[in-house]
Amino acid sequence: MDRLWQGVTGPPIGSSPDWPGPHPGRKLLGDRSDEGGLRRVRHTRLQAWQARFHGRARPGERDFRRLWAGDAVSQLGSQITLFALPYTAVSVLHAPGDQLGLLQALYTLPFLLVPLPAGLWLDHRPLRGVLITVNVVCALLVLSVPLAAAAGTLGLAQLHLVAALGGAATVTSEIAMFALLPRLVAAERLASANSRLNAGLAVAVTSGPGIAVWLTTRFGAPNALLADCLTYLFCAVALGRITHRQRSRPIQRPGGRLRRELIAGLRVVLGYPPLRRIAVHAALFHACAQAVNVALVVHLVRDQRLGGLYGLVLVCGGLGGTAGTLLAPLLIRRLGHGRAALAAAAVAAPAFWLVPAAAGSRATVVALCSAGLFAGSAGAGALSVVSTTVRHLASPPALHARVSAAFRLVTFALVPLGALTGGLLVDGVGARATLWAVPAVMVAALLPLLTVPVRTLHHVERQDHRAEPGLVAPG
């Protein structure tokens, strides 16, 4: 904390009147003379630099590194399971198409049903312990598949159960992780911390499918899940080394008050105008992104006949997402939270028009489609960091889990509709026409971000000391 000195020999403001002064011949960290007689001592930066130079870091920084490392490795394992689980259903159990659809539905259903009750429960539980338990449970779930396959007892019912429980565990884990993050990181470092977490996810999305294909072809689809089991265990060990502790708070509420506590996160998301508008845009964008994903596969694989080059296009999209998440803190510092969100979304939406516009040689098509996915994913990645940082700052600690759960519920509510609409459009008007139409909806979805509450949102005060939950300070 900065110290203000009065005159040349006076005590620091707020100190005891009989303060004896610094030791003769010895200066405080960061002490320097000033001709005006007013000394401003900035010792925290020097101490932080010395701590890094000597290999020491503050407990919060060490805890965040452990959280980030565990999450990055776990996200990579999750990408393996998202590939290997349906592949196991097809290659080992010869599941028909409707069973694959049911498998995907069971995995995504908890994304709509779990967030609100999980958010309320997590706000009253020690988040570190919950994260460790969830990762151990996930490790046992994925381990059950190769064990059952080796014993010859694997069936579709077990895969459906693993998908449903795995989806619920994924939602709970992500809500708990983003609720724990503000307890480990100072307000001015939240944007950077969110950027690093999202960068880990982007890297996992980029490299995970390739690793999953290699593991599946080398060891078989069920055995590939052993890699995910190991990543969950690594994450549990990394989380176990976090030194931050918090006590559980029992939920003892009357019926009416319990309902109010359950929707408290929704009141913050919908009651704070900038966050509400960002959430509305994110919901529309995510729905459109699902439609783009459906049309993209058909357009590039069937219509353009790119074959294996389709994977190269997807890798470029993953690299764009990584770049966007890393650039987000710089955007926030230069533009403020609101304009950073608008700039990121303005880059992402029209970039996808490069995909249907691509024509000519195969190299030209691959280059333009890669550029479109790179820019679109970069804007989406930066916007994700901005929105996460705003909701962290705009909610008190007692509501962090519920606000994250409510924001997730709002922004993912239209995802199934987007995927269904994309499939219907591809069958009705074709993949290229769909890829022209859907980005137009993305551009129209910029309207909530063009409003005054978002454009003028430069800084959000952190709500650590807000007494009454659910109230947020103006931007």
Residue predicted with more confidence, 77 or 245: 77
The pLDDT value given to residue 231: 92
Q: Which two tokens stand for residue 38?
A: 């007013």
**pLDDT confidence bin for 404, thresholds 50/70/90:** confident
Q: What percent of the chain has pLDDT over 70?
A: 80
Q: What is residue 298's predicted lDDT score, i.e. its pLDDT?
A: 79
Write out the two tokens for 359.
């024509």
pLDDT at residue number 16: 35
Average confidence (pLDDT) over 355-372: 88
Higher pLDDT residue, 5 or 155? 155
pLDDT tens for each residue of 294-323: 788 778 877 887 766 777 787 888 888 889
> What is the tens place of the pLDDT at every residue in 232-265?
999 999 988 888 776 655 555 544 466 777 778 8
Instruction: Render pLDDT for 285-295 as a digit per residue (tens, 0 to 9).
Output: 988 988 888 78
Under the banding of pLDDT at 50, 70 and 90, the label for residue 403 is confident
Q: Is the dihedral of CA 193, 195, 197, 199 positive or negative?
A: negative
Given a cut of 60, is residue 218 above it in pLDDT?
yes
Q: Is the pLDDT of residue 114 over 80?
A: yes
CA-based radius of gyration for the chain? 25
Amino acid at 428: G
Beta carbons of 401 and 122 less than 8 angstroms apart: yes
- What are the tokens at 245? 């502790």
Per-residue model confidence (pLDDT) at position 58? 56
pLDDT, mean of residues 447-464 = 81
Least confident of 30-34, 253-257, 426-430, 471-475: 30-34
pTM over 0.85? The answer is no
Residue that wins the pLDDT comparison between 249 and 4: 249
27 or 95, greater pLDDT: 95
- The average pLDDT across 124-153 equals 90
Q: Is the pLDDT of residue 23 over 90?
A: no
- Specify whether the CB–CB gap between 182 and 394 falls below 8 A: no
The one-letter code for the residue type at 42 is R
Write down the mean pLDDT value for the chain. 77
Nearest C-alpha neighbor of 304 from the set 364, 374, 376: 364
- Give the closest residue to 65 by CA, choosing from 187, 244, 208: 244
Dihedral sign computed on CA atoms, order 246, 252, 258, 260: negative
Q: How far apart are CA 52 and CA 390, in angstroms?
A: 28
